[in-house]
Amino acid sequence: MELQILHSKNKSKMCALQRLSSATTVRDIKELFHKQNPKFYPSRQSYRLEPRSKSLKDSDTLGSLDLSSDGVLYFKDLGTQLGWSTVFYFEYAGPLVLYLMFYSRLPFIYGEEYAYKPSSADVVKIAAVCHTVHYAKRLLETKFVHRFSHGTMPIRNLFKNCSYYWTFAAWLAYFINHPLYTLPMYGDVQVDMALGCFIFCELGNLFIHLALKNLRAPGSTERKIPLPTKNPFTLLFALVSCPNYTYEVGAWVSFAVMTQSLVGLLFASVGFMQMAVWALGKHRSYHKEFRQYPRSRKAIIPFIL
For residue 219, name the pLDDT band (cuts at 50, 70, 90). low
Q: Are residues 185 and 254 in the same domain?
A: yes
Using a 10 angstrom Cβ sphere, with 0-12 exposed, 13-18 middle and 19 or more buried, the burial of residue 123 is: buried
Q: Enumerate helices (H) and strands (E) in the chain, giving the number of each.
A: 9, 6
Indicate if 180 and 71 belong to the same structural domain. Answer: no
pTM for the whole thing? 0.86
Burial of residue 255 (number of CB atoms within 10 Å: 0-12, 13-18, 19+): buried
Q: Please give the tally of structural domains in the chain.
A: 2
Residue 302 lies in a domain: no
pLDDT greater than 90 at residue 102: yes
Task: Identify whether 220 is part of a domain.
Answer: yes
Q: What is the pLDDT of residues 169-184, one digit of tens each?
A: 999 999 999 999 999 9
For residue 68, what pLDDT band results from cuts at 50, 70 and 90?
low
Burial of 280 by CB count in 10 Å (0-12 exposed, 13-18 middle, 19+ buried)? middle
- The DSSP symbol for 48 reads E
The pLDDT score that the predictor gives to residue 220 is 66
Query: What gap in Å lies between CA 140 and CA 1, rounded to an integer?
Result: 48
Note down the domain range covering 75: 2-79
- 152, amino acid identity: T
**Is residue 126 within 8 Å of 173, Cβ to Cβ?**
no
Domain containing 47 — which CATH number?
3.10.20.90
pLDDT of 110 reads 95
